[in-house]
């Protein structure tokens, strides 16, 4: 395994031992991705409890050390995952969270950089695109080493819903959701395909009796999935933890995997100085290359609108 720095490639620190942080630790542990996982939380007792619970399953997985730590335990970590922040409340948009969580990040990021200047920072806390931008500005890290979980989960939801609608395995569905991880996200229908067959060509030969308006229904389900889950159980954490584990695996194993992570835009579709999700090559350096998709005009316009929405919000933070 390659590592971009002198850090231990298999040491993954997690900031925030709440539902997402603890479940991410569980996903990393079960998948055998990490050998050392310090859980760092303002509530040390909570982190200790999560670590104890996870360690009691140690005999069922590959060797891994999980423990409650503090910021000094970020030393030597290859990846630092940030899940800490205020929770999204029922009826609250991700953008409503921005001021609360920006204030929290102004406390967290200096503590991280005090102990580790070489790690890849993986931001999961919502609103993830703005907080990825906040992290980039506060840390001073190069853009390649500041990544947001972005629309990796949204793209998975998109593929999953198409697969159910069309009666095929999700692994044979290829498609992306780009832009903001939130209300202005853009499903790229023009490039979605099943086993290489564009949906416009696949649908006429499909045995399912779908209607054309199913696309709008699917897009709305993807966009509103978090709100639906929060309304029913208070928070989302299983699927997002799996999405984070997928990103971590791509980094640690230097996979050059294409994932819709959030990163700094530098001229894509005329967009500058904001963080958004596009299909991106992810490897041991973090962000490899951001890909420009051949979007149709409607999709490109929506993507630019998504960027403008986030940029206006970020301006109010006076970073």
Cα–Cα dist 23/42, whole Å: 17
Kind plus residue range of the DSSP H or E element containing 49? helix 44-55
The ranges of the chain annotated as CATH 3.90.110.10 are 151-316
Distance of CA 139 to the CA centre of its chain: 19
* CA torsion angle 191 192 193 198 (round to 10): -50
Q: Quote the pLDDT of residue 91.
A: 73
pLDDT for residue 95: 66
pLDDT of residue 34: 96
> Which pLDDT value is given to residue 294?
97
Question: What is the pLDDT at residue 209?
Answer: 59
* pLDDT score for 19: 96
Q: State the fold for domain 12-148.
A: Rossmann fold (3.40.50)
Nearest to 158 by CA among 192, 209, 183: 192
User: Which residues of the chain form CATH 3.40.50.720?
Assistant: 12-148
| Whether the model pTM is above 0.85 | yes
State the pLDDT at residue 3.
Answer: 47
For the chain (319 residues), the mean pLDDT of every run of 10, in chain order, is: 61 98 98 97 98 97 97 98 87 75 96 98 96 97 98 97 92 96 93 93 74 81 92 92 98 98 96 96 97 96 94 84
The set of residues, in sequence order, having a beta carbon less than 8 Å from that of 113 and lying 6+ positions away, is 139, 140, 141
101 in a labelled binding site:
yes
164 is in an annotated binding site: no
309 annotated as belonging to a binding site for a ligand: no
Q: What is d(CA 197, CA 195) in angstroms, rounded to the nearest whole number? A: 6
Token pair for 114:
């005090």
CATH 3.90.110.10 fits 151-316, yes or no: yes
Tokens encoding 167 = 């009666």
Is 41 within any annotated ligand binding site?
Answer: yes
pLDDT at 123: 99
Q: Estimate the share of the chain in helix, then strand, then coil, as percent rounded to the nearest 5.
A: 50, 20, 30
91 assigned binding-site residue: no
Catalytic center residues: 181
Do 23 and 241 contact (CB within 8 A), yes or no? yes
Do 96 and 68 contact (CB within 8 A), yes or no?
Answer: no
Element (H, E) at 24: helix 19-30
């Amino acid at each position: 395994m390659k590592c971009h720095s002198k850090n231990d490639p298999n040491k993954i620190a997690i900031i925030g031992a709440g539902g997402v942080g603890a479940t991410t630790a569980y996903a990393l542990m079960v998948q055998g991705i990490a050998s050392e996982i310090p859980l760092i939380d303002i509530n040390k007792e909570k982190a200790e409890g999560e670590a104890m619970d996870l360690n009691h399953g140690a005999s069922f997985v590959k060797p891994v050390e999980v423990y409650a730590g503090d910021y000094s335990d970020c030393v030597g970590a290859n990846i630092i995952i940030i899940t800490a922040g205020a929770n999204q409340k029922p009826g609250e948009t991700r953008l409503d969270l921005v001021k609360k969580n920006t204030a929290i990040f102004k406390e967290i990021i200096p503590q991280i950089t005090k102990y580790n200047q070489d790690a890849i920072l993986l931001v999961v806390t919502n609103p993830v695109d703005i907080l990825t931008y906040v992290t980039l500005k506060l840390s001073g890290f190069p853009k390649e080493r500041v990544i947001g979980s972005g629309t990796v989960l949204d793209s998975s939801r998109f593929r999953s819903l198409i697969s159910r609608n069309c009666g095929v395995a999700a692994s044979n569905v290829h498609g992306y959701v780009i832009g903001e991880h939130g209300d202005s996200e853009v499903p790229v229908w023009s490039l979605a395909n099943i086993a290489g067959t564009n949906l416009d060509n696949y649908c006429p030969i499909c045995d399912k009796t779908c209607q054309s308006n199913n696309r709008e229904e699917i897009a709305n389900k993807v966009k509103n999935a978090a709100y639906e889950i929060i309304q029913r159980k208070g928070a989302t954490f299983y699927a997002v933890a799996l999405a984070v584990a997928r990103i971590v695996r791509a980094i640690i194993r230097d996979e050059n995997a294409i994932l819709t992570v959030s990163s700094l835009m530098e001229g894509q579709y005329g967009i500058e100085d904001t963080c958004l999700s596009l299909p991106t090559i992810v490897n041991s350096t973090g962000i490899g290359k951001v890909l420009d998709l051949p979007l149709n005009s409607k999709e490109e316009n929506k993507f630019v609108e998504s960027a403008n929405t986030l940029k206006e919000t970020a301006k109010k933070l006076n970073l």
